[in-house]
């Protein structure tokens, strides 16, 4: 089941703060930028690069809501470009999950 309107509004609010902090400066956004999309019960964060006139999108993180267990699961891409869960336990709130991505203490999401 997809996220409801209240959940989507809360996610957008968190993502607006995240994007303010993490997006590149406006003068370079035509070369590299961040964007996100909400798909069903997931939020996917992508890096967008303009390389030799082509737009290349690379997924950085995916945060998926588990409605039955009432928590969020954080995923990152592994070297085979497959989503891999970051923690065994669910993260209680979306804002907690996006904070982990934002801080990126071990350089998994932003290098």
Tell me the pTM: 0.92
pLDDT at 106: 87
Contacts of 51 (CB under 8 A, 6+ apart): none
Residues in the chain with pLDDT values less than 70: 1
pLDDT at 1: 67
Torsions phi, psi for 40 (to 5 deg): 55, -110
Contacts of 8 (CB under 8 A, 6+ apart): 38
């Amino acid at each position: 089941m997809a996220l409801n309107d209240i959940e989507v509004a809360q996610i957008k609010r968190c993502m607006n703060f995240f994007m303010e902090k993490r997006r590149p400066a406006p003068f370079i956004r035509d070369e590299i930028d961040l964007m996100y999309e909400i798909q069903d019960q997931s939020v996917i964060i992508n890096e967008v690069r303009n390389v030799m006139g082509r737009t290349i999108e690379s997924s950085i993180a995916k945060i998926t809501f588990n409605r039955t267990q009432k928590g969020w699961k954080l995923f990152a891409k592994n070297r085979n470009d497959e989503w891999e869960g970051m923690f065994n336990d669910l993260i209680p709130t979306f804002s907690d999950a996006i904070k982990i991505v934002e801080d990126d203490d071990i350089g998994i999401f932003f290098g």
